[in-house]
Amino acid sequence: MEESAEIVSDGGHEAAAAAAIVDTENGLVEEEKNMDVKVAPALISVHPFEKSVVVAVGSELRLFNLEGDCSVSLKDDSGGPLHSDAIRAITFGANGRLFVSAGDDKLVKIWATSSWHCVCSVSADKRVSAVAISHNGKYVAFADKFGVIWLITLDEDDANQSKVDNKAVPILGHYCSIVTRLEFSPDDRFIASSDRDFKIRITAFPKRPLKGALEIQSFCLGHKDYVSGLSFACPSGYDHGFLFSGGGDSTVRLWDFFSGLLLATCEVGAKAELLQSTGTKDSYPPVTDLCSSSDGTIIAVAIQSLHGIVLLNCDFSDRTLSVAKDMPTVAFGHERLLSDLLLFSASNVNLLMRPRNIHCCL
CATH of the domain at 124: 2.130.10.10
Percent of the residues in the chain that have a pLDDT greater than 70, as a whole number:
73
State the average pLDDT over residues 343-353.
Answer: 37
The yes-or-no verdict on residue 6 having pLDDT over 50 is: no
pLDDT at 202: 97
Residue 80, judged by CB atoms within 10 A of its CB (0-12, 13-18, 19+), counts as exposed
State the average pLDDT over residues 273-297.
Answer: 83
Does 165 lie in the same domain as 183?
Answer: no
Does 154 lie in the same domain as 59?
Answer: yes
pLDDT, one tens digit per residue, over 140-156 is 999 999 999 999 998 75
Does 136 lie in the same domain as 245?
Answer: no
Does 182 lie in the same domain as 167?
Answer: no
DSSP 159-222: GTS-EESPPPEEEEE-TT--EEEEEE-TTSSEEEEEETTSEEEEEE--SSTTSSPPPEEEEEE-
Examine the fold and report which residue of 123, 150, 173 is the final residue of a domain before the chain moves on.
173
Q: Does a structural domain hold residue 247? A: yes
Does 189 lie in the same domain as 61?
Answer: no
pLDDT at 86: 95
pLDDT at 128: 97
Q: Does a structural domain hold residue 361? A: no
Query: 2-16, 81-95, 132-146: which has the minimum mean pLDDT?
Result: 2-16
Number of domains in the chain: 3
Count of helix runs (H) and strand runs (E) in the chain? 3, 28
Does 161 lie in the same domain as 189?
Answer: no
Distances (CA, A) of 165 to 125, 162, 243: 12, 10, 34
**Cα–Cα distance measured from residue 114 to residue 352, given in angstroms and rounded to the nearest whole number:** 26
Confidence of residue 55 (pLDDT cuts 50, 70, 90): very high
Confidence of residue 163 (pLDDT cuts 50, 70, 90): low
State the average pLDDT over residues 26-32.
Answer: 49
State the average pLDDT over residues 190-207.
Answer: 95
* DSSP for residue 115: T
Does 259 lie in the same domain as 158?
Answer: no
**Cα–Cα distance measured from residue 70 to residue 175, given in angstroms and rounded to the nearest whole number:** 44
pLDDT at 259: 96
Does 280 lie in the same domain as 132?
Answer: no
The yes-or-no verdict on residue 42 having pLDDT over 90 is: no
Does 187 lie in the same domain as 313?
Answer: yes
Domain carrying residue 297: 178-346
pLDDT, one tens digit per residue, over 316-334 is 999 999 998 655 555 554 3
| Residues in Cβ contact with 122 at an 8 Å cutoff, skipping those fewer than 6 apart | 107, 108, 109, 110, 142, 152, 165, 166, 167, 168
> Do residues 292 and 299 touch, judged by C-beta distance below 8 A?
yes
Query: Chain-wide mean pLDDT for the chain?
Result: 80
Examine the fold and report which residue of 144, 173, 202 is the final residue of a domain before the chain moves on.
173
pLDDT at 245: 98
